[in-house]
Chains A and B, each alone.
Chain A
Amino acid sequence: MTFIHFFILIPILTAFFIPLIGKLAPKLHLGWPALFVPVILFGFFTAQIPAISAGETISGSVVWMQALDLYFSVYLDGLSLIFTLLITGIGSLVVLYSTFYLSKERESLSHFYAYLLLFMGAMLGVVLSDNLMVLYLFWELTSISSFLLIAFWFRRKKSRYGAQKSFLITVSGGISMLVGFIMLQVMSGTNSIQEIIAMRDSLQEHELFVPALILILLGAFTKSAQFPFHIWLPDAMEAPTPVSAYLHSATMVKAGLFLVARFTPVFGGEATWFWLVSGVGIFTMFWGSFSAVKQKDLKALLAYSTISQLGLIMSLFGLGSAALQGGASTESIIYTKAIFVALFHLVNHSTFKGALFMVVGIVDHEVGTRDIRKLGGLISLMPVTFTLAVISSFSMAGLPPFNGFLSKEMFFTAALNANNLTIFSMETWGLLFPIIAWVGSIFTFAYSMIIVFRTFLGPYRRERLEKTPHEAPIGMLISPIILCVLIILLFFMPNQLSHYLLSPAMNSILPTYQNTEGLIPKISAWHGFNLELFMTAGVVVFGAFLMKTFRFWNFVYDLFPEHRSIDRGYQWVLAKSESGSKRATDLYMTGFLRHYLYYIYGFLLLLVGGTLWLTGSIVIDPSDDVPVSLYEGIIVAVMAAAAIGILFTKSRLTATLLNGVLGYSIAVFFVLFRAPDLALTQLVVETVTTVLFLLCFYHLPEWSKEERSVKVRLPKMIISIGMGALTVLLALSVQGNKMFESISSYFEDSYELAGGRNIVNAILGDFRAFDTMLEVVVLFIAGIGVYTLIKLKAPKGEDDIERE
């Protein structure tokens, strides 16, 4: 156990205590105790920065299930450190913000904070695990906590729909990722990610390499809302805004990016990886920003903007992976810049998007609506919020003096560099990257401006708003203010961030380039009049133009028919699979006992009979049999006749008496077979059973005739004769094969071992005393059942409800 194990477990354990605290201190807003956890963890992880930036890594392992190669092993390097700081840092700010956002009186806070802390622990687990299976476990735990948080207002239909949708999509991606992990394990023989990275070269030739790559990417794409799986993220906006800020922009959706970064050393350099990651990423970037512009709901707009930004980072990871093709060299080091930008933008995005979500949350909270068509002119009423909105959205648009400007410019550089690639047939397609990147950025600029101008400027229309807007309380402003300060700080001091956080992460993503000269570029705000700057200028001009003329070109959104969209496809698949499975289930779940018994017996006959047949274990060897005396033969004949007679008798009374004949004959057999205890018990039980049957008959009508048609009787006969034959074959084969020595001689020392001369009694009362005690419990339970069924009557009226 290292301290990192505790860091993962602390939030999860605290999650269990949160409801308890809520009970003990009902006047306390649960946000305050919950706030301790991320703040303390943030402090601890911050303290690790010097060691990690000096090139150290921390790892530890706890045995879980050794035989399955399952170790709860953790690994803290530069890459995971960035994520842990985001998780705990943004987590602290979000919990603080939510303390003022969520009302103590109206909301079920113990659920909220328990889920949130559960998520925090799971997310830390994802980024810190070194074992594939443990990573998968935490991965799905984030999906589950995300599901719970989206459905926090579960009385709303849309919340439930959004939660289900996100869950279905991310979990099916997660399962395909699991299959990919298993393939990786099969290829490498280990579950440890670091060991897999170390043997990277030997894996590439394996035939499972590309399938594993694709399956793992499916997990990453679904989690990080990449096209065409992005459809869940807009619906996930039904969650409370702090959740959207935390899970659905800053952390959970970045788990896919983490996965891609983590596995870049393994898969990077492979053409499929390059094209999938960068291609899907860049298209998602364009599609997200294009779709964001038409949104009317501020949160939906932010959701599409998040999709677009995630696509941007994804494409950068893809482009950077080209540097790993053919080993590290001084020529290809230029492409590693893409990975550097990806990490840089990842941090930047968390700052400005977190702030933006909080700003939108404030607007929603204080104004009562997020609809752009109703909002406007809030600048004079909410000046602080307005300032924060300007800082964060200008940063998103890529304007100086904010951190988004730096990473946006470097993104253009990376896209332009990719144009020079001569591998992966980039000579033909390479030009697409800078073009799509540029066009996407124009839309990004447009929607960033929409957020500021449509919400805070323009005409103020009080009559359209639900309440009179006023500035938010200071508590809600603290978190976005801190983020906005960071936005500006990072613009002026990006190289400090790069030195302490980004460069160790670069070393862990690109181990072959470890500490190579030129791996960490120097970030500067001013780099002369180059193409990137002109591209940014173009973005501003065209973006502003697009926003001004939105009215004239918004018809392009109607060119795609609504009923052909991916979202409709999802709904169609969902509806069809529901109705299809209902039909399939109705087909065999008839509710009639006989049909179910048919399935059970059929399978039994097939499986056991088939096994007997296929393994050739049917051995019939009657040579050891003891001889049959005459009167034994008579009893056997009587029993057979009585049994068959039961089938033909018309009266239930005769049937019960024949059953009695069977029971008493067995008692006689027990005497013959040297089992006096059994004979006695059997006689008593048989008598009582027969009485019980007769007692029951008093209350029931005479039994009706069974169906006499051949169609009903034939399958019944086949199954029952089959079962009889199977039993005979099985029993005879067991006797014929004599594979094991009998263990009964052990019990013949019963006097020495248990102090009893009657061996049967010694077994029951001593050797297997627990068994006998539990048998008494079974009798007792059956007695309670009998008593309850006879005595208990449902209160008047309720019986009808049950039967309906």
Chain B
Amino acid sequence: METIITLLVGILVSVATYLLLSKNLIRVVLGTAILSHAVHLLLMTMGGLKIGSVPILGDQVETYTDALPQALILTAIVISFAVTAFFLVLVYRTYQSTGTDNLYELKGSKDE
């Protein structure tokens, strides 16, 4: 299971990287969103999968699954949401101010 998920993470990272290298701004933002999905999955696999029960203390439970990655991922989900929201508005504003969402056209003038 861990290996398969890791391979899935690899595919997601490849797709995200490919999107990040695009010249369209929306594709870049999409790339960052997919990259954060990949990272969340990766963190999850690091703690070992499906061993023990839900990390809520109960009476008849012997082992719990690793709670630390879950806490980290929870933080990461919220932060990546904030970043995605900010990126999207940044794209919107960039388009409003410059009239393009093409990164190649946003290169800036030669003598800058």
Q: A696-B89, A742-B68, A748-B64 are known contacts; what are 15 more A-B pairs with Cβ within 8 Å?
A: A644-B15, A663-B37, A666-B37, A685-B77, A689-B33, A700-B101, A719-B21, A720-B15, A720-B16, A724-B11, A743-B68, A744-B47, A759-B64, A782-B85, A785-B89
Name B69-112 residues within 8 Å CB distance of A. 70-71, 73-75, 77-79, 81-86, 88-93, 95-97, 101-104, 107-108, 112
Q: Is the CB of B10 within 8 A of A625?
A: no
**Quick one: given A597-B21, A772-B75, A789-B93, are A644 and B11 in contact (CB under 8 Å)?**
yes
Name A697-743 residues within 8 Å CB distance of B. 697, 699-701, 703-704, 706-707, 716-717, 719-721, 723-725, 727-728, 731-732, 734-735, 742-743
Q: Is the CB of A662 within 8 A of B13?
A: no
Q: Is A640 an interface residue (CB 8 A)?
A: yes
- CA–CA, A696 and B33, complex, Å: 15
Question: Interface size of A by Cβ–Cβ distance < 8 Å?
Answer: 97
Q: Is A578 an interface residue (CB 8 A)?
A: no
- CA–CA, A592 and B20, complex, Å: 12
Residue of B nearest to A695 (CB): B88
Kindly provide the distance from the CB of A479 to the nearest chain B CB, expressed in whole angstroms.
51
Q: Is A350 an interface residue (CB 8 A)?
A: no
Q: Is the CB of B49 within 8 A of A601?
A: no
- Some 28 contacts from A to B, beta carbons below 8 A apart, are A594-B103, A620-B3, A625-B3, A647-B18, A659-B30, A663-B37, A666-B40, A669-B44, A673-B50, A674-B55, A675-B73, A677-B70, A678-B70, A678-B77, A685-B81, A688-B81, A689-B33, A693-B88, A696-B89, A696-B92, A706-B22, A724-B13, A725-B10, A728-B7, A743-B68, A763-B67, A789-B93, A790-B89
Q: Is A652 an interface residue (CB 8 A)?
A: yes
Q: Is the CB of B15 within 8 A of A646?
A: yes
How would residues 12 to 30 of chain B score, 1 for a CB under 8 Å from any chain A CB and 0 otherwise?
1111111111111011101
Residues of chain A within 8 A of B82, CB atoms compared: 778-779, 782-783
Q: Is the CB of A632 within 8 A of B97?
A: no
Q: Which residues of B contact A (CB under 8 A)?
A: 1-24, 26-28, 30, 33-34, 37-38, 40-42, 44-58, 64-68, 70-71, 73-75, 77-79, 81-86, 88-93, 95-97, 101-104, 107-108, 112
Q: Is A348 an interface residue (CB 8 A)?
A: no
Q: Is the CB of B21 within 8 A of A716?
A: yes
**Quick one: given A597-B20, A759-B56, are A790 and B11 in contact (CB under 8 Å)?**
no
- CA–CA, A743 and B97, complex, Å: 50
Residue of B nearest to A641 (CB): B11
Q: Is the CB of B30 within 8 A of A747?
A: no
Q: Is the CB of B92 within 8 A of A789?
A: yes
Residue of B nearest to A688 (CB): B81
Residues of chain A within 8 A of B10, CB atoms compared: 724-725, 727-728
**Quick one: given A625-B2, A703-B24, A775-B75, are A727 and B92 in contact (CB under 8 Å)?**
no
Q: Which residues of A contact B (CB under 8 A)?
A: 590-594, 597-598, 601, 620, 622, 624-628, 632-633, 636, 639-640, 643-644, 646-647, 652, 655-656, 659, 662-663, 666, 669-670, 672-678, 681-682, 685, 688-689, 692-693, 695-697, 699-701, 703-704, 706-707, 716-717, 719-721, 723-725, 727-728, 731-732, 734-735, 742-744, 747-748, 750-751, 757-760, 763-764, 768, 771-772, 775, 778-779, 782-783, 785-786, 789-790, 799
Residues of chain B within 8 A of A678, CB atoms compared: 40, 70, 73-74, 77
Residues of chain B within 8 A of A732, CB atoms compared: 3, 6
Kindly provide the distance from the CB of B33 to the nearest chain A CB, expressed in whole angstroms.
6
Q: Is the CB of A731 within 8 A of B56?
A: no
Kindly provide the distance from the CB of A702 to the nearest chain B CB, expressed in whole angstroms.
10
Q: Is the CB of A699 within 8 A of B95?
A: yes
Residues of chain A within 8 A of B51, CB atoms compared: 626
**Quick one: given A594-B21, A748-B64, are A626 and B86 in contact (CB under 8 Å)?**
no
Residue of B nearest to A782 (CB): B82
Q: Is the CB of A735 within 8 A of B45?
A: yes
Select which of B67, B74, B89 is within 8 A of A747 by beta carbon: B67
**Quick one: given A673-B50, A734-B46, are A757 and B56 in contact (CB under 8 Å)?**
yes
Q: Is the CB of A591 within 8 A of B112?
A: yes
Select which of A592, A643, A697, A751 is within 8 A of B15 by beta carbon: A643
- CA–CA, A235 and B64, complex, Å: 75
Kindly provide the distance from the CB of A749 to the nearest chain B CB, expressed in whole angstroms.
9
- CA–CA, A590 and B2, complex, Å: 41
- CA–CA, A625 and B50, complex, Å: 10
Q: Is the CB of A646 within 8 A of B30?
A: yes
- CA–CA, A725 and B14, complex, Å: 8
Q: Is the CB of B17 within 8 A of A720?
A: yes
Q: Is the CB of B14 within 8 A of A721?
A: yes
Residue of A nearest to B42 (CB): A731
Residues of chain B within 8 A of A744, CB atoms compared: 47, 66-68
Q: Is the CB of A674 within 8 A of B50?
A: yes
